[in-house]
Amino acid sequence: MLNLAAVRKDGAAPVFGTWKTGEATLDTLPSGWTVIDATDSPYSVVADDSTNAWSGITSAAAAAAAAGGGVVQLPTGTIRAYPTDGDVTLTSGKLHMDPGDTAATAFLDGSLSNVVVQGYIDGQGEPLTTLNMRLWHDEPGTNYLNELNTPSGDPNDDADIDNIRRYRFWNVADNVQNIQLRRLKIDGTAVPVNTGKEWQTLEGKRNQWDTSHKVLGANDVDTRNWLVEDVECLNWRAEMIYSGGLQVEKIKLVRANLRQANSSITSFSADSEYDGCTFSDAANALIENLCDRINDLESNQIAYGLLP
């Protein structure tokens, strides 16, 4: 536990519990890990910003984990991905899900350990692989999924909207370790339109802070060793890198360019490092964390201007 009361009162050094494990520096990939070319059959990922690569990428990630550890190598170009749950309908331009129906809550399976998803970068370190993450029926992230219910229990009654959500890119589960995103541009396609944070309301979730819409997220689980390297993320309605609680042991961000979020850019309590990162355009804090190690402070650009 952190002795935060003493810090606020006396300026004392905080006391860390056993969850703090030292430096967050991560080793290079084990030499025996499988490399999966996502363009090969049966994955058949095409970077034409048209063909849906959702199932191809998720299947490749599952195969990498099943092999005991692996790299999913994505091609250069723009890759479009969106969920295809049959229970989600598009009516009058709005996405709906009826009571009792189910739909994806995340792109990558949160139970997978020892998985790297990576693309390519140019000589200046700019990603040449873009993931264009869209919603059901190929809708942009600025739309949202209406989850409906029938409070009266009468199926003949018109359903009310019970919840608003999108989905997480990678929802990390308990005991997961060694996950990496490298050499990618990941566009959540939900361009921030409001800097308000009344996310408890349906209107707030539609246009402001939708906590279902994160890049890497974990809630109250024990997980370790996250690496985000040479990655650009933009247009997400919640925190991009997030953990709820004090459970993530190691997080490292290297040359990460994270911007345009309707909440904080990063929000976690973890043994973590930043090297050469750029954070900008957030409706809340850019860094909302405990226990960080910022290596070479001048190499990180933390732009404290908020979204207009």
Greatest extent of the chain over all pairs of C-alpha atoms, in Å: 63
Tell whether the model's pLDDT for residue 96 goes beyond 50: yes
CB 262, CB 236: distance < 8 Å: yes
CB 159, CB 148: distance < 8 Å: yes
Percentage of residues of the chain with pLDDT beyond 70 = 77
Mean pLDDT score, 207-236: 89
| Phi then psi dihedrals of residue 156, to 5 deg | -85, -15
Residue 308 placed within a domain: no
CB 132, CB 79: distance < 8 Å: yes
Helix (H, G, I), strand (E, B) or coil at 121: strand
Report the pLDDT value the prediction gives residue 243, as an integer from 0 to 100: 84
Of 43 and 26, the one with more pLDDT = 43
Residue 114 placed within a domain: yes
Tell whether the model's pLDDT for residue 40 goes beyond 60: yes
Residue 58, H or E segment: helix 54-66
What does the CA dihedral 112, 78, 134, 238 come to, rounded to 10 degrees? Answer: 70
Report the pLDDT value the prediction gives residue 153, as an integer from 0 to 100: 57
Q: What is the sign, positive or negative, of the torsion defined by CA atoms of 22, 232, 181, 242?
A: positive
Pairing of strands 160-165, 145-149: antiparallel
Mean pLDDT score of the chain: 81
Percentage of residues of the chain with pLDDT beyond 90 = 48
Peptide bond before 42: cis, by omega within 30 degrees of 0? yes
Tell whether the model's pLDDT for residue 194 goes beyond 70: no
Residue 256 placed within a domain: yes
CB 291, CB 271: distance < 8 Å: yes
pLDDT band at 45 (very low <50, low <70, confident <90, very high): very high
Lowest mean pLDDT segment, chosen from 161-165, 179-183, 301-305: 301-305
Quote the CA–CA distance of 78 and 235 in Å, as a whole number. 16
Residue 242 placed within a domain: yes
Mean pLDDT score, 170-186: 92
| Phi then psi dihedrals of residue 18, to 5 deg | -70, -10
* Segments forming the whole domain that contains residue 233: 4-302
Report the pLDDT value the prediction gives residue 6, as an integer from 0 to 100: 38
Residue carrying the six token digits 């991560």: 26
Quote the CA–CA distance of 77 and 188 in Å, as a whole number. 16
CB 273, CB 294: distance < 8 Å: yes
| Tens digits of residue pLDDT in 245-300 | 656 778 889 999 999 988 889 988 777 788 889 998 888 878 876 655 555 445 55
Tell whether the model's pLDDT for residue 16 goes beyond 60: no
Report the pLDDT value the prediction gives residue 11, as an integer from 0 to 100: 41
Residue 209 placed within a domain: yes
Of 182 and 151, the one with more pLDDT = 182
226: β partners: 179, 251
Alpha carbon of 139 to those of 90, 95, 191: distances in Å?
9, 9, 13
Lowest mean pLDDT segment, chosen from 59-63, 224-228, 230-234: 224-228
Number of structural domains the chain divides into: 1
Report the pLDDT value the prediction gives residue 24, as an integer from 0 to 100: 45
CB 112, CB 175: distance < 8 Å: no
pTM of the model: 0.85
Pairing of strands 94-97, 88-91: antiparallel
Alpha carbon of 142 to those of 7, 161, 251: distances in Å?
41, 18, 29
Report the pLDDT value the prediction gives residue 37, as an integer from 0 to 100: 97
Residue 307 placed within a domain: no
| Tens digits of residue pLDDT in 125-162 | 889 999 999 999 999 999 999 988 766 555 555 567 88
